[in-house]
Structure 1
Amino acid sequence: MKLIIQLNDSWEIKKFAPFDQVHADTLNTDAEGSEGENGWIPTSVPAQVHEILLREGLIEDPSLLGKGKECLWVAEHDWIYKRTFSAPELQDQKAYLHFKGLDTLVDIYLNGKHVAYHNNMYVPARLEVSGLLQEENILVVHIHSPYAYMQQADYPKDWTGKIRPSRLIRKSDQDFNDYLGAKPYLTRMGIYDTVSLEVVDELEIVDNDLSFRLLEGYEQGLVTAKVSGAGFAAGSTLQLTIKSPDQQVVAQHSTPISSEDAESWTYTCELAVPDPLLWWPRGYGEQPLYEVSVSVLVNGEAKDQNVKRIGFRDVKMVQPLDFVINQKQIKLWGAQSAQLQGITHCWNNEKSNQLLDLLENANMNSQRVWGGADRYDDAFYDEADQRGILIWQEFFHDYGMYPDTLPYRELCRKEAEYQVKRLKHHPSLLFWCGGNECFMGAEFELPGEPYIGGEIFLEDYKNVCETLDPDRYYHINSPYGGAYCNDPLAGDTHSYTNTWYVPGADYPIMIAEEIRTSPPSLKSFVRYMGEERAWPADYSGQITKSSKYPWPDTWTERTSAFGWRKIPPIELFYDADDLPSAVYKFGAAHGHYLRKVLENNRRGKPSESPDGERICKGHFVCRWNDSWPVIYGSMIDYYMEPYMPYYAVKRAYQPVLLSFDVQNFIYLWAVNDSANDVEGTLYVKLFDPLSNAFVQEFEKSVQVRSGESNLITNLNEFKQFSRTYILYAYLVDAQGELIARTHDFVDIERHMRFPEARISMEINGGQLTLSTDQFARCIELSGNDEGDEFGWLFEDNYFDLLPGEVKQVNILGRHTKGTITAKAYYSPFTTEGGFTR
């Protein structure tokens, strides 16, 4: 069997001046014991330079205010990673060094000999070193400063003001700006994935290009494996085996490997799977996965093996961005993700799974992997397969123009080929996209200017996808289509409707980004801003004609991309006179805005014209997660705490939705994006919070088919009524079980007065049961475990409650004990209870 020796331990790193040649003693001398006097720092990998220096106390945490600037010197130097390792004696075998992630401009040396130069962080490097290995070996990885590279790189004059110099390097754009929150920026560098030595035993699999499809009627699935490899031995065979989700062999094929193809060989195998179980997106069914293993054997002994898991599903795009899966129309309700961690490109699988848990809790079925994000690990896509999360996958480009030189295009093309071959077998992968805002950014910044680098998206990536993955849709860019790139009537659109007038924005085909700015929860905000800067002593909370920003000037230190211009409708809420009320105002306004937009998109058509198909095919909130402490538009903050609008999104994304549309008339809609038809009795009521009583009501039988959005009724029966009243509706099935509920206001919150509600709370194991004596506006649940207020997660939070309702909330966080507190925002009364799981 192929021998894989992990080389992740016993490394050392050292700073070097840019442009210096690596000295002979560095290349040929064992560095062991040289820490300290010679400046070598011990480490293991994956680990990038900044995180190593932080761990060693050599820099302060760059997430702290002002500390990022003090770290700029790190990426202005070269860094060398070095280690020694023992190698087995080779018996006519081939050996390879495999670097899964190098960031980014790297020279690699083995035993003093230059082995390779690597210049793309998104692809691995696998280098044959068969003739260079000794019993003891010295491996040196020289990471070059990207800034030193840019100083001497060829940069055409006609690119000035159009193409950022950092784009000369195939490296994350976010390493050179503050968009995600790094101040002024943080340029990562180093080894960010595993390193190994691979020794090939006679022959190996080089590539397994796997595809699958369902035949008409779904009575049979076809799996095609185009397997390439190298090496030969007498009795060599290639074997393809498919196992069902319960590990039963359902298909198998073997073919001999010819001796004529010893240097390289390619075989294509196609196997049929009878009556395959269908893989469904989250919320529509199960996610059965079949195991496809490709093995090379010599006289029955396995020499190498590649295992992938697939799911049989039929995907058709019947209209732009309108997907039908297994003959069921599926709307995409999700979020656009960012980099998991600001200080490093290293993958954190625990954090990724926590974010997927939160995504599922928010009733989402899809995730957009943004062109500005890092390369996501294989484990992420495996999880998405198991959970039924549909993936909108972008290539790694962001906002504006790109180099159009042939060498740069070739780098991008090879990168795309690697990505497509790596990910195409995943059933969760819905479609490919060339990048984020590349064309739109140029339209905004340089209207009328010819686009430089468009061939990458219009030709190169398109050809790669059509050649290697022809059954999947390729989207040129996000946004793209129509009279202009951001045209909501023809393609996907990014919602900047508070800063731009966008014709047709009310009913777009697809919102790929919906962003408004608000701070995180109070405890997170104080943790990274400090109380003094979060609410300066001389700040009144008022926004006047002389106010430069809609918040304290100090907040601008923690925002980016003109975040103060992307605020939600805070004018609908009371002015803030302290920090808690400011956090509430922005968070509640953000949640209010997202709720209204999402419910409108879910309805998908105006109440004045309720017939016909739903126009909007999906919606993605932006951003999903914070990579740094920042005031911007995310749902999950730097400390993995949900923002207030996270819960508004969760409720707006619930599969069966009741939604009021308050305008010239008041309408009530029912939207069913669950897998099954629903029917039951709808109760519509008016509640007067001043008298603490329901004053009018009616009921109605309701049926809504799966995938439909129906206008159920208007509220004309109530005639005129006070704007202080609260609209309330709920749908129950024949057994009286709640299917969906909603409530809404007729006036803006700034005009309303809310009672001082007292919350009743029972805690039973991992579940809360809550009720209220009066209308409770925005109940916040919080926890405390011996002073630890972080890591508490509640299934729902920041919700309203009416008298007579009983709400159960699961406790999902990491804590197993502590005190839980419930408090309505406008009430002075708190309710506490002891919690033990």
Structure 2
Amino acid sequence: MTRHPLPEGWVLRAVPGPQVPPEIVDRAVPATVPGCVHTDLLAAGLIPDPYLDDNETALAWIGRTDWVYETTFDAPPGAADRVDLACAGLDTVATVTLNGAEVGRAENMHRGHRFDVTSALRPGANTLAVRFDSPYRYAEAHRDRLGDRPNAYPEPFNFIRKTACNFGWDWGPTVVTAGIWQDIALHAWSTARLAAVRPLVTVADGVGRVELRVEVERAAEEPVTVRVEVAGATAEAVVAAGRRTAALTVEVRDPTLWWPRGYGGQPLHPLAVTLRAADGRELDAWSRRIGFRTIRLDTAPDEHGSAFALHVNDVPVFVRGVNWIPDDAFPNRVTRQRLAERFDQAAGANINLLRVWGGGRYESEDFYELADERGLLVQQDFLFACAAYPEEEPFRSEVEAEAREQVTRLAAHPSLVLWTGNNENIWGWHDWDWQEPLAGRTWGRGYYLDVLPRIVAELDPTRPYWPGSPWSGGSDGSGGEEIHPNDPAHGTTHIWDVWNTDDYTRYREYVPRFVAEFGYQAPPAYATLRRAISDDPLAPDSPGMAHHQKAADGDAKLQRGLDAHLPPPVDFDEWHYFTQLNQARAIQLGVEHFRSHRPVCAGTIVWQLNDCWPVTSWSAIDGDGRRKPLWYALRRAYADRLLTVQPRDGGLALVAVNETGRPWRAATTVTRLTLAGEPRAKTTYDLDVPAYGTVELALPADLARPEEARRELLVAEAGESIDRAFWFFAEDRDADWPAAAFDATVEDVDGGQRVRVTARTILRDLTLYPDRLDPAAQVDDALVTLLPGESATFVVRAPRPLDPAALTIRPVLRTVN
């Protein structure tokens, strides 16, 4: 196999239509491949940045336009039995022509296509063109043909196999893309090639086993040999003339196991597969890295309902997860380096699982390789979200082809631990008033309960499949349908009443088996807002801020949360700090509550880690890659060892959670004291928490009942290596806070500045916002509460020294009081 990439020399043209602006008509635009129309037009200076202000609205015509990509290339040298045009990803409704002759069509962004162009090639220069029809026209035509189906947004994303959130979401812009979004190349080959390689990796009784399934495509009927090598073990198989498949098995004794981050190391072993002709010529080769580990999903019924617990190498892993959306609406911008930064941010917040959400895309090889290297588990949704999906043709065949390709592609990755059929669609059928408008039409059930589980069972039996998120399964753990799909006592649950209608303290009313989504909004970092929005002045309801708030009644829900907990903000700066603080507190409260009920609850997946553009959303990392205060709260709430005060049975309890393989023993004190720092009551415990265990200690009445709720708090401390746990008896809006008083010093350190703050009064949720002084500035900690006389040190990193005085005053330095 000889590969000839085709990344150069592409131009882009709009097919004439009444919606095309005059400056675009007949314009040949230099095109980047892989890429998309939006980024090419932006690079040429022909459109404004769709992420800034409300520019997105004026660019809606792009998704309703047909586009043609074209390049010229020389025919590859040398003789070959076959030359294929291999398109890893076409977005989406594509007609491919070579030298004016049609060689293939595609209508699914989520799978690759390979077209035989042997007879269409000619010596010397060849002209390749890819026409992309408007995604809207395609989707609307199928909608009109098959009958409309309910969905969460007034867009036809469920009638095209394309990234759903291209059509807008409650955190995303409507930028309906087109383009050659993944690699495109000529593959010249003779005799045979490796059409598919699927390694199934298992471990049993100290033996690692790789069962390799190979599919061969032929140009000649002669014997070929497949050879596999991994960790010093090898195997060979001859594929006889007329045969297309081979099965090989290699065994590795006592392999070093691959573990999730925090549970052990991540050893990876190169797996090499070669295909040779009878005369010994190498015809094709394939390689990946694999890890030896076992995965088991426990869904057994018990006295609480039925479980949902992941076991890796027979160790129960409490999932400390986040939901992952596309990191940019334009995939070509998401480089391996950018993914590595996000993964490092995830690991830095003690996260151990990323759920790739079903309204996005199957991620790049870089994504899964980085997850393998860093020990981040991956839950992979099939790409269906928040809508009823038609099961008629051409969709059924496209879904099956897409699923087969992606299950095969991802089988080698040890980080991938769970396949999920869809996001919220079964729940939607039950609870979102779909059944009457559907009037018996298909809505996707056949995919989630038949097509997809059958494909996973056939191609990847090493991993569990779960029909949906949320999904309760049967009462006997069998996956039946008799239980409501979002029953917290069974399987996985999504909790959205908190954000939509209730205060975040309602999280404490749930003791779920596994929370696959829950979230709370906040605006992005101030520097991100200032880059993206030109409003002057900025206000919560100024035009740019309103455009970058996509959630229904989002600002009213933010205000409801502030009213319940915090004093009225005096200006935009305080509104920004308070809304970010409220997001962090909401999620920290939820995570700590759910973790305190381990092992009944076996995991939490916060909505969401990241953003795809600058927006007010549920993310911990904003659209410019900056950490919101939520990130620091997650780092505490997801720590390996967690100390938390929880309400229990009308009183309070101290709960210690140990998510390590070693017992946790520490002298622990709980003190009730005034806001002025005066102790009122104190208790000491000898904490002894077993590995992967939880201990709950009821607090005596003299600690749990304050004399003056507005002026008192609890502090719990266990040794010196863990954050303290606080319990405030009154909401901030009601507390009798002293005006904040402190001393602060700033000194230069290598690569930044050290800010030391010493409290003269209590300082509640002390946070620095250095990005207000330099957009590139970052700080190592946030949301620090200090008692009188205590000190905290913050390290600020920035490309240039920041004004020391500005670092220690409003609006850079903030506290609740």
Q: TM-score, normalised by structure 2?
A: 0.88
2:27 aligns with one of 39, 44, 55:
39
CA contact (8 A) 1:45 1:192 kept: yes
- Looking at structure 2, the residues matched to 472 and 44 of structure 1 have their Cα atoms a distance apart, in angstroms, of 37
SS in structure 2 opposite 1:650?
helix
SS in structure 2 opposite 1:155?
helix
CA offset digits 1:462-498 (Å, max 9, x no partner): 1111111122111111112264222212122221123
Please state if 1:312 is matched with 2:292: yes
* Alignment CA distance shift 1:716-1:821 (3 Å): farther
Partner of 1:523: 527
SS in structure 1 opposite 2:245?
strand
CA contact (8 A) 1:297 1:303 kept: yes
Partner of 2:84: 96
- Looking at structure 1, the residues matched to 285 and 494 of structure 2 have their Cα atoms a distance apart, in angstroms, of 44
- Looking at structure 1, the residues matched to 746 and 537 of structure 2 have their Cα atoms a distance apart, in angstroms, of 35
Partner of 2:389: 402
CA contact (8 A) 1:393 1:431 kept: yes
CA contact (8 A) 1:241 1:252 kept: yes
What's the CA shift for 1:685?
Answer: 2.6
SS in structure 2 opposite 1:211?
strand
Partner of 2:7: 8
Please state if 1:81 is matched with 2:69: yes
- Looking at structure 2, the residues matched to 350 and 237 of structure 1 have their Cα atoms a distance apart, in angstroms, of 38
CA contact (8 A) 2:768 2:807 kept: no
CA offset digits 1:683-720 (Å, max 9, x no partner): 22334332x45554343211111221211341434464
Structural mapping, 1:128-143, within 5 Å: 128-135=116-123, 136-143=125-132
Please state if 1:255 is matched with 2:237: yes
- Looking at structure 1, the residues matched to 53 and 443 of structure 2 have their Cα atoms a distance apart, in angstroms, of 37
Partner of 1:198: 187
Partner of 1:438: 425
* Alignment CA distance shift 1:657-1:161 (3 Å): closer
CA offset digits 1:234-258 (Å, max 9, x no partner): 8953211002xxxxx2x01223443
- Looking at structure 1, the residues matched to 163 and 538 of structure 2 have their Cα atoms a distance apart, in angstroms, of 31
What's the CA shift for 1:407?
Answer: 2.5
CA offset digits 1:186-210 (Å, max 9, x no partner): 2111111111111115432111111
CA contact (8 A) 1:510 1:616 kept: yes
Q: Which moved more, 1:323-332 or 1:656-665?
A: 656-665
Structural mapping, 1:179-218, within 5 Å: 179-182=170-173, 185-216=174-205
Partner of 1:246: none
- Looking at structure 1, the residues matched to 146 and 197 of structure 2 have their Cα atoms a distance apart, in angstroms, of 43
What's the CA shift for 1:224?
Answer: 0.6
Partner of 2:573: 580
1:672 aligns with one of 658, 681, 704:
658
Please state if 1:686 is matched with 2:668: no
* Alignment CA distance shift 1:758-1:807 (3 Å): closer
Q: Which moved more, 1:755-764 or 1:643-652?
A: 755-764
What's the CA shift for 1:744?
Answer: 3.0
1:614 aligns with one of 574, 581, 599:
599
Structural mapping, 1:753-832, within 5 Å: 753-754=737-738, 755-760=740-745, 764-765=749-750, 768=754, 770-774=756-760, 775-783=762-770, 789-803=774-788, 807=792, 815-819=798-802
SS in structure 2 opposite 1:47?
coil
Return the letter of the residue paired with 1:439. Answer: I
SS in structure 2 opposite 1:284?
coil
What's the CA shift for 1:382?
Answer: 0.6
- Looking at structure 1, the residues matched to 426 and 777 of structure 2 have their Cα atoms a distance apart, in angstroms, of 41
Q: Which moved more, 1:473-482 or 1:815-824?
A: 815-824
What's the CA shift for 1:344?
Answer: 4.6
* Alignment CA distance shift 1:682-1:253 (3 Å): same
Partner of 1:288: 267
What's the CA shift for 1:60?
Answer: 0.6
Return the letter of the residue paired with 1:393. Answer: Q
Partner of 1:747: 730
- Looking at structure 1, the residues matched to 82 and 53 of structure 2 have their Cα atoms a distance apart, in angstroms, of 51
CA offset digits 1:602-659 (Å, max 9, x no partner): 101xxxxxxxx63211111112211122222111111111222222122111110000
- Looking at structure 2, the residues matched to 744 and 440 of structure 1 have their Cα atoms a distance apart, in angstroms, of 36
Partner of 1:269: 248
* Alignment CA distance shift 1:452-1:254 (3 Å): closer
SS in structure 2 opposite 1:587?
helix
* Alignment CA distance shift 1:622-1:829 (3 Å): closer
SS in structure 1 opposite 2:577?
helix
- Looking at structure 1, the residues matched to 87 and 78 of structure 2 have their Cα atoms a distance apart, in angstroms, of 21
- Looking at structure 2, the residues matched to 443 and 821 of structure 1 have their Cα atoms a distance apart, in angstroms, of 57
- Looking at structure 1, the residues matched to 169 and 418 of structure 2 have their Cα atoms a distance apart, in angstroms, of 29
Partner of 1:456: 447
Return the letter of the residue paired with 2:255. Answer: P
CA offset digits 1:297-323 (Å, max 9, x no partner): 345553321111111112211224211
CA offset digits 1:545-601 (Å, max 9, x no partner): xxxxxx678744322231245437312101012001111221111111111111100
CA contact (8 A) 2:508 2:593 kept: no
CA offset digits 1:509-535 (Å, max 9, x no partner): 111111222212233234333453632
Please state if 1:469 is matched with 2:466: no
- Looking at structure 2, the residues matched to 270 and 439 of structure 1 have their Cα atoms a distance apart, in angstroms, of 39
* Alignment CA distance shift 1:447-1:110 (3 Å): closer
Structural mapping, 1:139-178, within 5 Å: 139-150=128-139, 152-153=141-142, 155-156=144-145, 158-159=147-148, 165-178=156-169
What's the CA shift for 1:212?
Answer: 1.0
- Looking at structure 1, the residues matched to 175 and 80 of structure 2 have their Cα atoms a distance apart, in angstroms, of 46
- Looking at structure 2, the residues matched to 751 and 821 of structure 1 have their Cα atoms a distance apart, in angstroms, of 33
- Looking at structure 2, the residues matched to 793 and 829 of structure 1 have their Cα atoms a distance apart, in angstroms, of 12
Q: Which moved more, 1:565-574 or 1:453-462?
A: 565-574
- Looking at structure 2, the residues matched to 475 and 577 of structure 1 have their Cα atoms a distance apart, in angstroms, of 48
Partner of 2:488: 488
- Looking at structure 1, the residues matched to 807 and 334 of structure 2 have their Cα atoms a distance apart, in angstroms, of 39
- Looking at structure 1, the residues matched to 812 and 444 of structure 2 have their Cα atoms a distance apart, in angstroms, of 60
Partner of 1:112: 100
* Alignment CA distance shift 1:513-1:174 (3 Å): same
CA offset digits 1:421-451 (Å, max 9, x no partner): 0112211111101111112233343154456
Partner of 1:627: 612
Q: Percent identity of the aligned residues?
A: 25
- Looking at structure 1, the residues matched to 100 and 261 of structure 2 have their Cα atoms a distance apart, in angstroms, of 53
SS in structure 2 opposite 1:280?
coil
CA contact (8 A) 1:667 1:714 kept: yes
- Looking at structure 1, the residues matched to 280 and 582 of structure 2 have their Cα atoms a distance apart, in angstroms, of 66
SS in structure 2 opposite 1:412?
helix
* Alignment CA distance shift 1:18-1:480 (3 Å): farther
* Alignment CA distance shift 1:191-1:821 (3 Å): farther
What's the CA shift for 1:779?
Answer: 2.4
Partner of 2:551: 561
* Alignment CA distance shift 1:792-1:441 (3 Å): farther
What's the CA shift for 1:153?
Answer: 4.1
Structure 1, unmatched stretches of 5+, are 21-34, 244-248, 537-550, 605-612, 832-837
CA offset digits 1:212-265 (Å, max 9, x no partner): 11113xx1111111112234698953211002xxxxx2x01223443x23xx53
What's the CA shift for 1:792?
Answer: 3.0
SS in structure 2 opposite 1:430?
strand
* Alignment CA distance shift 1:378-1:600 (3 Å): same
Q: Which moved more, 1:158-167 or 1:485-494?
A: 158-167
SS in structure 2 opposite 1:750?
coil
SS in structure 1 opposite 2:592?
helix
Q: Which moved more, 1:166-175 or 1:524-533?
A: 524-533
Partner of 2:282: 302
Q: Which moved more, 1:489-498 or 1:280-289?
A: 489-498
CA contact (8 A) 1:759 1:822 kept: no
What's the CA shift for 1:807?
Answer: 4.9
What's the CA shift for 1:741?
Answer: 2.6
